[in-house]
C-alpha cells in the first residue's frame, strides 16, 4: 500500500474498534522493522519520528524509506511527525509526504502555544493532514529535555484548547510517563472526564510499560493512538549489546542489523496485537 492519510487511518480505526500504535523510528532498520511488525500482525498503525530524530534521518530520507517499507503491506500504515518542535520541521515533513503531524509548542506560554498549534493546524488542513496537539505535560525524557514535574491535563481546559487550536486529536497527561516506566499510574477517572468534554479522540504518549488491561480500559474512553518508543529502541540496542558482551571484536554489522530488524519487528507485532486483543 501507499502511506495512508492520517484522517483515513483514524476513520479506519474507529470503524473497526482498533487502537493505533505509533512506533518511533530513528533509522532505516527501525522503519522496516515497524512496517514488518504491523504487516505480520495485519493491524494498522503509524511509523513516527520525533523532531529530535530528524537530526539523523531528515524528513525526505525517512519518508522515502517508509514508502518503501510499506509498499508490500496490506494493512494501513501512516507516517507521523512526533513532537514537531518547529514550524520548519512541520513544513519539511508535509512536503516530504508525511500523512499526520503533531505540533509540540508546550515550551511556549499558553496563548503562544495555542497560536502556534492553530498556525500548524491551518497549514496542515490545507493539505488534508490531521494535527495532534498536547495539553498537559508528561514526566520523563523527550527531545533530550527531562521533565521532572507531572502536570496532568485539566479537563476544564480541554474544550477551549481543542476549539481554539483546531487540532484533530489530543495528547493528554493522565499519569503516563515518557521513557521506560515499569509502573505508570494511569488515572482512568480523569481520562473519562476528559473524554466527556473532548470533541476529538485522545492519544497517550509513553505507552511502554502500561499494562494491556489498562489500555483496553482507556479504549472505552476515546483512546485512538498510543505511542511506543522505548520498548522498540531497547530491542534494537539489546541486539548489538548482547553480541558485544559475547565478543568485543564483533563487527558483523549486516547480520546484526538484520537481527535488529527481526527483534524490533517482533516487539512491534507483540505490542500492536496486545493492545487490540479486545
Ligand atoms: Zn511524547
pLDDT at 141: 66
- Cite the beta strand spans of the chain per DSSP E: 20-24, 45-50, 77-84, 100-103, 131-135, 140-142, 145-147, 169-172, 202-204, 223-228
C-alpha span between 201 and 46 (Å, rounded): 16
DSSP-derived secondary structure letter, 168: S
Comparing 103-112, 126-135, 210-219, the range with the smallest average pLDDT is: 103-112
pLDDT in tens, 184-236: 899 999 999 999 999 999 999 999 999 999 999 999 999 999 999 999 999 99
**C-alpha cell recorded at residue 107:** 515550551
pLDDT at 116: 97
C-alpha span between 107 and 79 (Å, rounded): 24
Backbone angles phi, psi at 138, to 5 degrees: -100, 145
**C-alpha cell recorded at residue 139:** 514526566
Interval between CA 253 and ligand 1 midpoint (Å): 30
pLDDT in tens, 54-102: 999 999 999 999 999 999 999 999 999 999 999 999 999 999 999 999 9
Alpha-carbon distances, residue 26 vs 103, 203, 208 (angstroms): 19, 21, 17
**C-alpha cell recorded at residue 11:** 476513520
- pLDDT band for 107, please (50, 70, 90 cuts): confident
Interval between CA 206 and ligand 1 midpoint (Å): 6
pLDDT at 144: 59
Interval between CA 228 and ligand 1 midpoint (Å): 9
Altogether, the residues listed in the chain come to a count of: 278
Interval between CA 178 and ligand 1 midpoint (Å): 6
Query: Residue 140's CB: how many other CB atoms inside 10 A?
Result: 20
Q: Catalogue the active-site residues.
A: 82
Alpha-carbon distances, residue 148 vs 101, 141, 182, 230 (angstroms): 26, 9, 17, 18
Backbone angles phi, psi at 166, to 5 degrees: 75, 20
Give, as residue ranges, everything with CB less than 5 Å from ion ligand 1.
Answer: 205
pTM for the whole thing?
A: 0.95
pLDDT at 145: 61
Which domains, from first to last, does the chain contain?
6-275 (3.20.20.70)
Amino acid at each position: 500500500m501507499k502511506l495512508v492519510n492520517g484522517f483515513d487511518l483514524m476513520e479506519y480505526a474507529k470503524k473497526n474498534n482498533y487502537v493505533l500504535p505509533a512506533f518511533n523510528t530513528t533509522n532505516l532498520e527501525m522503519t522496516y522493522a515497524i512496517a514488518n511488525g504491523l504487516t505480520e500482525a495485519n493491524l494498522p498503525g503509524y511509523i513516527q519520528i520525533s523532531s529530535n530524530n530528524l537530526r539523523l534521518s531528515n524528513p525526505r530520507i525517512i519518508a522515502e524509506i517508509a514508502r518503501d517499507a510499506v509498499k508490500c503491506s496490506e494493512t494501513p500504515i501512516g507516517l507521523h511527525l512526533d513532537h514537531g518542535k518547529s514550524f520548519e520541521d512541520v513544513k519539511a515533513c508535509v512536503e516530504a509526504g508525511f500523512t499526520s503531524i503533531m505540533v509540540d509548542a508546550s515550551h511556549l506560554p499558553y496563548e503562544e502555544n495555542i497560536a502556534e498549534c492553530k498556525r500548524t493546524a491551518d497549514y496542515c488542513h490545507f493539505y488534508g493532514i490531521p494535527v495532534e496537539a498536547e495539553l498537559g505535560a508528561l514526566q520523563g525524557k523527550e527531545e533530550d529535555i527531562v521533565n521532572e514535574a507531572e502536570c496532568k491535563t485539566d479537563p476544564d481546559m480541554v474544550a477551549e484548547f481543542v476549539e481554539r487550536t483546531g487540532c484533530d486529536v489530543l495528547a493528554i497527561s493522565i499519569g503516563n510517563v515518557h521513557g521506560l516506566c515499569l509502573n505508570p499510574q494511569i488515572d482512568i477517572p480523569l481520562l473519562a472526564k476528559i473524554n466527556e468534554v473532548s470533541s476529538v479522540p485522545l492519544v497517550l504518549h509513553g505507552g511502554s510499560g502500561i499494562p494491556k488491561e489498562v489500555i483496553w480500559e482507556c479504549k472505552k474512553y476515546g483512546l485512538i493512538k498510543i505511542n511506543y518508543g522505548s520498548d522498540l529502541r531497547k530491542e534494537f540496542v539489546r541486539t548489538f549489546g548482547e553480541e558485544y558482551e559475547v565478543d568485543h571484536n564483533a563487527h558483523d554489522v549486516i547480520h546484526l542489523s538484520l537481527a535488529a530488524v527481526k527483534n524490533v519487528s517482533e516487539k512491534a507485532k507483540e505490542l500492536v496485537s496486545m493492545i487490540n486483543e479486545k
